Amino acid sequence: MNLKIHVWRQKSREAEGGFVTYSADAISPDASFLEMLDVVNERLMEKGEESIHFEHDCREGICGSCGMMINGVAHGSRGNGLATCQLHMRHFKDGDEIWIEPWRARAFPVIKDLIVDRGGLDKIIQAGGYISVNTGSAPEANMLLVPKAVQERAMDAAACIQCGACVAQCPNGAAQLFTSAKVSHLGLLPQGQPERKERVLKMVAVMEEMFGSCTLYGECEAVCPKEISIDFIGRMNRDYLAASVTTAKKEKVET
């Protein structure tokens, strides 16, 4: 198939960016979207032009490295549970024009072309997205019983790959879906109870500081490659409220 692609090119964080149009001819419908970009890049470099930079690694939809806005949609397809690397060219038609941009969010500055800095998400994890247990101090695993339904629900939340699509698609650039997935994963499990209140307060504080606010557009859920439910946001809000009113020293919780 023959396509026309308009790609956001930007040399560095400070540099001015803009769309550049390339033709992507003789592309196999069986190629993945990233393989289409590989082909375009090989041709560009043969002509002496620098390749389009984009982040990617496992190409199996699990590492969370890849991600771009494709025709305005994070990862390029709504409701299919696909990361960019899993999107195949057969989803497009011969002659299509495709607009490709980096994640668009204030919290994700562009590093080069389609690569952005998603470091803010790690900061949210650092604020409390863990269970404090040192190596070696764990009790026998089966001493702790976890109902199957609870474990399944925790796993639904834990499936997040931290790609940032939720933030990129959100008109507010909010990171509620990401944060709530981790708050819920740990907060649902019995192991996560001792730190549950402190965790949600700390993580939300960092999230609010770095990202936009949630006004329940629901765009995040629609593009999440792991189909993480927006219900977790409700759950996080409930936890946050409960923690706020029951934690006396909440103003002093450091972030």
Partner 1 sequence: MELKSKIPPGPLAEKWSKAKATYKLVNPANKRKYDIIVVGAGLAGASAAASLGELGYNVKCFVFHDSPRRAHSIAAQGGINAAKNYRNDGDSVYRLFYDTIKGGDYRAREANVYRLAELSVNIIDQAVAQGVPFAREYGGQLENRSFGGVQVSRTFYARGQTGQQLLLGAFQALERQIALGTVKQYNRHEMLDLVVVDGHAKGIVTRNLVTGKIEAHSADAVVLGTGGYVNVFYLSTNAKASNATAIWRAYKRGAAFANPCYTQIHPTCIPQSGDYQSKLTLMSESLRNDGRIWVPKAQKDTRPVKQIPEAERDYFLERKYPSFGNLAPRDIASRAAKEVCDEGRGVGPSGRGVFLDFADAIKRLGRSAIEERYGNLFDMYHDITAENPYETPMRIYPAPHYSMGGTWVDYNLMSTIPGCYVIGEANFSDHGANRLGASALMQGLADGYFVLPVSIGDYLAGQMGKKVAADTPAFTDAIASVQDRTSRLLSAKGSRTVDSFHRELGTIMWDYCGMARTDEGLRKARTMITELREQYWRDVKVLGTGEEPNQSLEKAGRVADFFELAELMCIDALHREESAGGHFRSEYQEEGEAKRNDDKFLYVAAWEYTGEGSEPRLNKEPLEYEEVKLATRSYK
**Of residues 184-243, which lie at the interface with partner 1 (CB under 8 A)?**
185-186, 189, 191-192
Interaction of residue 244 with partner 1, rule CB under 8 A: no
Which of 95, 139, 245, 252 contacts partner 1 by CB under 8 A? 139
Q: Which is nearer to partner 1, 155 or 242 (CB)?
A: 155
| Span interacting with partner 1, options 92-100, 124-132, 230-238, 239-247, rule CB under 8 A | 124-132
**Of residues 1-60, which lie at the interface with partner 1 (CB under 8 A)?**
11-12, 27-28, 30-32, 34-36, 38-39, 42, 45-46, 48-51, 53, 55-60
Residue 142 corresponds to which tokens in the numbers above? 């089966």
| Span interacting with partner 1, options 16-24, 97-105, 151-159, 240-248, rule CB under 8 A | 151-159
73, β-bridge pairs = 70
Geometric angle at alpha carbon 89, from 74 and 118, rounded to 5°: 25
Nearest of 207, 200, 203 to residue 243 by alpha carbon: 200
7, β-bridge pairs = 20, 100
The DSSP output letter for 88 is: B
What minimum distance in Å lies between the beta carbon of 20 and partner 1?
15
Contact 45, 54 (CB under 8 A): no
What minimum distance in Å lies between the beta carbon of 46 and partner 1?
7
Residue 135 CA: distances (Å) to CA of 138, 139, 141, 144, 217: 7, 11, 14, 17, 41
Which of 23, 146, 213, 216 contacts partner 1 by CB under 8 A? 146
Residue 132 corresponds to which tokens in the numbers above? 């404090």
What minimum distance in Å lies between the beta carbon of 215 and partner 1?
27
What x/- string results for residues 69 through 98 when contact with partner 1 is judged by CB under 8 A? -------------x---x-x-x--------
Nearest of 101, 37, 95, 43 to residue 69 by alpha carbon: 101
Total of residues contacting partner 1 (CB under 8 A): 76
